[in-house]
Amino acid sequence: MNQLELTSTLKNAFHEDIGMGDLTSESVFTENQQGKGIYTSKADGVLAGLDAVIAGYNLLDPGVTVTLHKKDGDFVKKGDIIGEVEGSIRILLTGERVILNLLQHLSGIATSTRNVVDLLDDPTIAVADTRKTLPGLRSLQKYAVRCGGGKNHRFRLDDGIMIKDNHIKAAGSIKAAVEMVQKHAGHMVKVEVETETEEQVLEAVAAKADVIMLDNRSPQEVKKLINIIPDDIVVEVSGGITPQNIGSYKNCGANVISLGWLTHSVKALDISFNLQ
Is position 190 annotated as part of the catalytic site?
no
Is position 169 annotated as part of the catalytic site?
no
**Residue 227 to residues 34, 46, 203, 247, 252, Cα–Cα distance (Å):** 66, 37, 14, 21, 11
Phi, psi for residue 252 in degrees, rounded to 5: -80, -15
Q: Of 132, 175, 190, 223, which residue is the catalytic one? A: 132
Cβ atoms 87, 61 nearer than 8 A: yes
Is position 270 annotated as part of the catalytic site?
no
- The CA-based diameter of the chain, rounded to the nearest angstrom, is 72
Closest CA to 109 of 135, 80, 147: 147
Question: How far is Cα 100 from Cα 128, in angstroms, rounded to an integer?
Answer: 25
Q: Which residues pair with 234 in a beta bridge?
A: 211
Is position 36 annotated as part of the catalytic site?
no
Is position 183 annotated as part of the catalytic site?
no
Q: Of 164, 224, 250, 267, which residue is the catalytic one? A: 164
CA atoms within 13 A on the CB side of 114: 20
Q: Of 194, 203, 217, 236, which residue is the catalytic one? A: 194
Q: Of 44, 215, 221, 270, which residue is the catalytic one? A: 215
Sequence-distant (≥ 6) Cβ neighbours of residue 128 within 8 angstroms: 145, 150, 151, 152, 153, 236, 256, 257, 258, 259
- CA 64 to the chain's CA centroid: 29
Sequence-distant (≥ 6) Cβ neighbours of residue 47 within 8 angstroms: 41, 70, 71, 72, 73, 74, 75, 76, 82, 103, 107, 110, 147, 269
CB atoms within 10 A of CB 84: 17
Q: Of 36, 97, 151, 223, which residue is the catalytic one? A: 97
Cβ atoms 189, 213 nearer than 8 A: no
Question: How far is Cα 61 from Cα 65, in angstroms, rounded to an integer?
Answer: 9
Active site residues: 97, 132, 164, 194, 215
